[in-house]
Amino acid sequence: MNHDLETAEHPETLKRVVIEPLTRVEGHGKVTLLLDEDEHIQQARLHIVEFRGFEKFIQGRPYWEVPVLVQRLCGICPVSHHLAAAKAVDALVGVRQLPPTAEKIRRLIHFGQTLQSHAVHFFHLSSPDLLFGFEDEVSHRNIVGVIADHPDIALKGVKLRKFGQEVIRVVSGKRVHGTLAVPGGVNKALSREDRDYLLRQTDEVLAWSRDAVDLVKRLYVANSAFHDRFGRIDSHWLSLVDSDGNLEIYDGSLRTRDDSGCMIFDQAPCDDYAEFIREGIKPWTYMKFPFLITLGREDGWYRVGPLARVNNCDQIATPLAEAQRREFLAQDAAGHPIRAPLAYHWARMIELLHCAEAIVGLLRDPDILGGELQLRGEPRQEGIGVIEAPRGTLFHHYRIDEQGLIEKANLIVSTTNNNQAMNESIRAVAREFLDGHELTEGLLNHIEVAIRAYDPCLSCATHAVGKMPLSLELLDCNGRLLNRLERNSRGSCELA
């Protein structure tokens, strides 16, 4: 492991390189590297803007507003926040089990959201690295380059995303930031007309989703020795599973495995999350570091997201995705979890296929066309909602006063869960690829490739398409500027 790269012994004597803003990730973040005279990496850290403001902002607001307010955390996966908050609010109104129509409608929008999020991430943000190589010309290494060189691939990405957005629009009234969940249920079922409109597209969506898995598999396997090694770390894994151990993204219980796949705990109720997970802090970043309490602060960190879910579950409930899962896991002859960060892309596309299959199943289910929409039970003052967002496990926890106003909120967002893992991966990459070399844009992109694999949502919607201005500064130990590399808004790089 490369844990020693978290904090250098004498940072004051080292050169500092900052990669900011990170590109082709959602939101803003930066990486700082400290190098010694001989360009050896001594420290590597990822810093991310956190969401704490929101927890404060919603204090004093009525609880039934929260699922709509928290959507504004993010323009990329608002549905995840909406649903996680809605599940917590269900608990506040005393509803454990939603009526079938309400639960299926919520699942439908969640699958739609996950499908569109995974499609954007792979096709728009990450496929350029895998198709063109990490050191490809930056002006070409983006979705525009994919459209130029592989229009068929780009088009499928665009269409998959569009379908996911259409599911969201039809269910919630808007493509982004609609309304759907109300305390104890949903505000509408699907109309027959909307159901048929979506169903008409599903054959193609299934075909494109299968192609997407095939594509990522082909790209990965074409250079699997390198892809397996790139930024590889050992970690524990955390995700939801259902009561049979199936991959589950809407509901279920918590399961964790260690790096060799042995169960640490299973079927832990989400309501008890605080007994299993705690958030640590480090002096150099506002972003917290969640860990499993039983294993402690240093060793208890874990990974979440598509790779965690695919590694963690016993099976996937839909047949095409399940077949792909088996093939995916067969890569490791010893039957251990797949550890390579770049395997996240593959796992993500397996999930995309699962979403497509699950959407078809739900659209064929008559329950989604109508039935009881909302239930009420005995009110409570504390509610916890846990969901698998596209990027990983997402925790929403609220306490309200007797009048129904939010007193306290705690959110652990998916990206925070992967904080330590992303830091470990960039350290692994920095040590293997950057150490001792003169830094170039292509080499620095290696760092970004490792981060991108986790699909972090660093704050809210940015669609950088590889043209985001990026400036790298090399300073000596006295803070003097030695070298400056700039990527301008047209995407070309200049030494300043």
Partner 1 sequence: MTAYFQIDGVPIPFESGQTIMDAALAAGQYIPHLCHNPEFRPHGSCRVCTVRADGRFVAACTFPASEGAKVECASDELRELRNGLLQMLFVEGNHVCPGCEKSGACQLQAVAYYCEMLAPELPHFFPRRHVDASHPDLAIDYGRCILCELCVRASREVDGKSIFAIGGRGIKAHLLVDSPSGKLGDTDMSVHDKAAHVCPVGAILIKHRGYDRPIGQRLYDQRPVSVVGDVIQAEETRDD
CB of 414 to partner 1, least distance (A): 22
Closer CB to partner 1, residue 133 or residue 404? 404
CB of 361 to partner 1, least distance (A): 23
Does residue 380 belong to the site contacting partner 1 (CB under 8 A)?
A: no
Does residue 178 belong to the site contacting partner 1 (CB under 8 A)?
A: yes
Closer CB to partner 1, residue 93 or residue 358? 93
Q: Name which of residues 187 to 226 contact partner 1 (CB under 8 A).
A: 187-188
CA distance 223 to 126: 16
Tell me the number of residues near partner 1 by CB under 8 A. Answer: 25
Q: Name which of residues 310 to 329 contact partner 1 (CB under 8 A).
A: none
The single residue among 125, 160, 182, 394 that binds partner 1, judged by CB under 8 A, is: 182
Does residue 93 belong to the site contacting partner 1 (CB under 8 A)?
A: yes
Binding part of the chain for partner 1, among 180-188, 224-232, 327-335, 428-436 by CB under 8 A, reads 180-188
CA angle 273, 384, 375 (to 5 degrees): 140
Does residue 378 belong to the site contacting partner 1 (CB under 8 A)?
A: no
CA angle 113, 116, 120 (to 5 degrees): 135
Binding part of the chain for partner 1, among 12-20, 123-131, 359-367, 401-409 by CB under 8 A, reads 401-409
Binding part of the chain for partner 1, among 56-64, 118-126, 214-222, 415-423 by CB under 8 A, reads 56-64
Give yes or no for a contact between 264 and 129, defined as CB atoms under 8 angstroms apart: no
CB of 436 to partner 1, least distance (A): 50
282 backbone dihedrals φ, ψ, rounded to 5°: -130, 145
Does residue 172 belong to the site contacting partner 1 (CB under 8 A)?
A: yes
Give yes or no for a contact between 97 and 431, defined as CB atoms under 8 angstroms apart: no
The single residue among 140, 159, 177, 336 that binds partner 1, judged by CB under 8 A, is: 177
Does residue 64 belong to the site contacting partner 1 (CB under 8 A)?
A: yes
CB of 58 to partner 1, least distance (A): 9
134 backbone dihedrals φ, ψ, rounded to 5°: -70, -25
Does residue 61 belong to the site contacting partner 1 (CB under 8 A)?
A: yes
CA distance 173 to 166: 10
Closer CB to partner 1, residue 169 or residue 282? 169
Binding part of the chain for partner 1, among 4-12, 55-63, 156-164, 313-321 by CB under 8 A, reads 55-63
Q: Which x/- pattern over 358-377 shows residues binding partner 1 (rule: CB under 8 A)?
A: ----------------x---
Does residue 405 belong to the site contacting partner 1 (CB under 8 A)?
A: yes
Closer CB to partner 1, residue 374 or residue 462? 374
Instruction: Tell me the HSE value of 231 on the side-chain side, using a 13 A CA sphere.
Output: 24
Closer CB to partner 1, residue 123 or residue 398? 398
The single residue among 7, 179, 246, 483 that binds partner 1, judged by CB under 8 A, is: 179
The single residue among 19, 68, 168, 359 that binds partner 1, judged by CB under 8 A, is: 68
CA distance 128 to 148: 11
CB of 93 to partner 1, least distance (A): 7
Tokens 């039983």 -> residue:
294
Closer CB to partner 1, residue 63 or residue 208? 63
CA distance 445 to 404: 48
C-alpha of 54 from chain center = 19
CA distance 135 to 101: 49
CB of 173 to partner 1, least distance (A): 3
Which burial class, exposed, middle or buried, applies to 49 when counting CB atoms under 10 A from its CB (0-12, 13-18, 19+)?
middle
Count other C-beta atoms under 10 Å from residue 372's C-beta: 12
Does residue 100 belong to the site contacting partner 1 (CB under 8 A)?
A: no
Does residue 65 belong to the site contacting partner 1 (CB under 8 A)?
A: yes
Q: Show the tokens assigned to 128.
A: 């350029």
CA distance 355 to 371: 24
Site residues (CB under 8 A) for partner 1?
A: 60-62, 64-65, 67-69, 72, 93, 172-174, 177-180, 182-183, 187-188, 374, 403-405
